[in-house]
Chains A and B, each alone.
Chain A
Amino acid sequence: MAKTMYEKIWDTHFVHQEEGQAPLMYVDRHLMHEVTSPQAFEGLKIAGRPIRNTHSILATLDHCVPTKLADRINLPDPIGAKQVKTMMDNCEEHGLVLYDMESKNNGIIHVVVPEHGFVHPGMTTVCGDSHTATHGAFGALAFGIGTSEVEHVMATQCLPQSKSKTMLVKVDGQLSKFSTAKDIALAIIGEIGTAGGNGFVIEYAGEAITALSMQGRMTLCNMAIESGARAGLVAPDQKTYDFLEGKEFAPKGEQWDQALAYWKSLPSDEGAEYDLVIELRAEDIAPQVTWGTSPEQVVPVDKTVPAPSDFELEGKQIACKSALDYMGLTPGTKMTDIPVDFVFLGSCTNSRIEDFRAAAEVAKGTKVPANVTAIAVPGSYQVKEQAEQEGLDKIFTAAGWEWREPGCSMCLAMNGDQLKPGERCASTSNRNFEGRQGKGGRTHLVSPAMAAATAAAGRFVDIRELTN
């Protein structure tokens, strides 16, 4: 029978099903950061259970870490410092690979893992972090788990799992040069909603997906979780293999050929059936901006802020009204007339080198207005170094941006980088929830190029008009 890629990975990782229990799925890779792991280590210790496969784990420090160099040496927040120290102690005790703040490999977990080729096609990968979906870009079944499950995987290398439904999101046609993977991701969420993917694993396919770079595919899969999906997947192809070849944890020599043969067997079979199929045309996807407090509250940048009456369902009308109140917006306002106070370029969604190149191209020769703060936060030291070699940091600083050290930073604002109440931010991150970037802060999600254009103008800009 024709199988989807998800079904193939599922079947390969099925360990056992005891009567009356859920199927056990084997876990190949376990990624970790400081926020969602300490209670799991504590649980293991209390129960006296060892880690089954320390080799499957790669850890980093990213959520709590300051992005100002001086603060990284002496963490200003004692509770955050304790969390960082706990992570370092746990990794040392169990002999785990940790990219700590002094490591040249340090950065956001979902940025550093691909940089080192730690996740391959067909692997099951988990992390106590919802944006683990990122690694679906490699054709790996990757999803976020809670801390109890982190402990479960450490102790057993397995997770009790129920099989998900499958959704194919097909994007054919060619994306305009102003639209990006981020715009595809937002357009899909606008279409199916933040609960549209609940219970599903999404496979992204079609000409516009195949045409994306590996970094673009990571951006797209990263946001699968914002549509509620368990995971996002893109079939591996030559771009995937080229990306992985030669990386530290990629297979070598004879094993590379063996792995390659396996990876080539992964894409969904012709005629495989999905529980749901959604189709979009790439040409129809304009640069997107969110206006509300949920990623599904999104419009093309040349549109206006909607009114509650624009929505059919009562629940959506209520949500619209409450979002407008929180965001301080009036229906009918052109998105391009909305001024911003802050611009954040970074996060596991958009902090890779291509994101910085795209933003720098727009930022070049511009000047951030005095009333706007713009910060550029590379996803890792590797990205930072590469950007500096290409002179991108100079472009940003000349344009009035701050050039920071890597970390999650203002995506979730745990590390001290945050908005003040009422401040409005154009952000390349993934969530525009109330208070996400600081209590009372107002977040609008955009692509890196849109963020750079917004920083220069002090308001949202339709980047399609810039080159005219």
Chain B
Amino acid sequence: MEKYTKHTSVAALMNRSNVDTDQIIAKQFLKKVERTGFGVHLFHDWRYLEDGVTPNPDFELNNPKFEGAKVLVAGDNFGCGSSREHAPWAIDDYGFNTVISTSFADIFYNNCFKNGILPIVVDADTLKALMAEIESNEGVSFTVDLENQTVSTPGGIEVKFEIDGFRKNNLLNGLDDIGLTLKQTDKITSYETKHKEKFPWLWAS
């Protein structure tokens, strides 16, 4: 996984709450057996007109001022619904590496970290201020500094955000979660031995 480094990038605005994973990546694109190529399908039903190809000029992310955006600022409870990791795959493939909201659905939040995406939780007033700054400018770039856990804007907003230490570390260093767990194989094996003695029926066939 790529390391997450400090960056200053265009911020895009999606002022909707409860954006669900069905919207992020629609069902018809879940049949692929690969992990790549989902970006073109991100927000498909909102993003394209009836023909499924022509960009919908009314869809917020089609606004030219958001071109090249890496930061997505969205309403409350982003990523609710299905567990499909195709959602963060699509977000990543489209070019975002950061999503800012007041809250995220649990599974989506976990899935982000597995794909080098940083989900940032801010309070409602901060979100409002960030949204206002994007709205009132023709393309604004936010600086995201994971090391110091801050988001800063040209308008002078400086937000400190919370994140689990281990998640931060893994993201900063682009570490492979599975590899880290496998380093504990002896601990897992010794746990398993005791677990088998205590719950033998779990292994009976």
Question: Residues of A at under 8 Å CB distance from B?
Answer: 15-16, 18, 20-22, 24, 26, 28, 35-36, 38-39, 42, 47, 49, 52, 55, 63-64, 77, 79-80, 82-83, 86, 120, 123, 128-130, 132, 143-149, 151-152, 155-158, 160, 162, 194-195, 198-199, 228-230, 249, 251-252, 255-256, 258-259, 262, 294, 315, 318-319, 322, 412-414, 431, 433-436, 439
Q: Is the CB of B105 within 8 A of A24?
A: no
- Does B54 lie at the interface of the complex (its beta carbon under 8 Å from any beta carbon of A)? no
**Which residue from A194, A199, A262, A435 sits with its C-beta under 8 Å from B199?**
A262
Question: Interface-forming stretch among B26-34, B141-149, B152-160?
Answer: B26-34
CB B137 to nearest CB in A, in angstroms, measures 22
Closest to A438 in B: B27
Whether the Cβ atoms of A80 and B17 lie closer than 8 Å is: no
A250 to chain B, nearest CB (A): 8
Ranked nearest first, the 6 interchain pairs of A and B with the lowest CB-CB distance are A251-B201, A148-B114, A146-B85, A38-B33, A146-B111, A144-B83
Interface residues of B in 191-205 (CB under 8 A from A): 191-192, 195, 199-205
Contact B20 A49 (CB under 8 A): no
> Is B191 a contact of A155 with CB atoms below 8 Å?
no
Nearest residue (CB) in B for A195 is B77
CB distance from B135 to the nearest CB of A (A): 14
| Interface flags, B29-50, vs A, CB<8A=1, else 0 | 0111111000000000100000
In the docked arrangement, what's the CA distance between A22 and B169, Å? 11
CA distance A120 to B165 in the complex (A): 34
Please tell me which one of the listed residues B18, B181, B199, B201 contacts residue A158 in the complex, with CB atoms under 8 A apart: B181
Residues of B within 8 Å of A146, CB to CB, are 83-85, 88, 107, 110-111, 114
Is B23 within 8 A of A435, CB to CB?
yes
Question: Interface size (B, Cβ < 8 Å)?
Answer: 61
Whether A436 lies near B22 (C-beta < 8 A) is yes
29 example contacts (A-B, Cβ-Cβ < 8 A) are as follows: A16-B187, A16-B188, A18-B183, A24-B184, A26-B191, A26-B192, A35-B30, A35-B31, A82-B33, A145-B107, A145-B110, A146-B85, A146-B114, A147-B35, A148-B85, A155-B182, A156-B182, A198-B77, A198-B103, A198-B105, A230-B106, A255-B201, A262-B199, A315-B75, A318-B17, A322-B16, A413-B27, A414-B31, A431-B20
CB of B177 within 8 Å of the partner chain: yes
Q: Which residues from A are CB-within-8-Å of B15?
A: 318
| B201→A258 contact, CB < 8 A | yes
For residue A315, which residues in chain B have a CB less than 8 angstroms away from its CB?
A: 17, 75-76
How many residue pairs link A and B with beta carbons under 8 A? The number is 193
| A16 vs B180: C-alpha distance when bound (angstroms) | 12
Could you say which residues of chain B place their CB within 8 Å of the CB of A42?
33-35
Find out whether the CB atom of A435 lies under 8 angstroms from the CB atom of B45. yes
Query: Cα distance A272–B166 when bound, in Å?
Result: 30
Q: B76: which of A152, A195, A322 is its contact (CB, 8 Å)?
A: A195
Q: Within 8 Å CB of B192, what residues of A? A: 26, 157
Taken together as a complex, chains A and B put the C-alpha atoms of A123 and B166 apart, in Å, by: 26
B72 proximal to A (CB < 8 A): no
Give the interface of B toward A (CB within 8 A). Answer: 15-18, 20, 22-23, 26-28, 30-35, 45, 75-77, 80-85, 88, 103-107, 110-111, 114-115, 164-167, 169, 177-178, 180-185, 187-188, 191-192, 195, 199-205
Expressed in whole angstroms, the Cα–Cα distance for A152 and B175 within the complex equals 13
Residues of A within 8 A of B201 (CB): 120, 251-252, 255-256, 258-259
Collect the chain A residues with CB atoms within 8 Å of residue B184's CB. 15-16, 18, 24, 158
Residues in chain B near residue A433, CB distance under 8 A: 20, 22-23, 81
A194-B27 contact in complex given A55-B205, A146-B85, A158-B188, C-beta closer than 8 Å: no
Q: How far is the CA of A230 from the CA of B104 in the complex (A)?
A: 12
- Residues from chain B with a CB closer than 8 A to the CB of A35 are 30-31, 84
Contacts of B111 in A (CB 8 A): 146, 148-149
Cα A413 to Cα B28 with chains together (Å): 8
Assess whether B165 is in contact with A20, with CB atoms less than 8 Å apart: yes
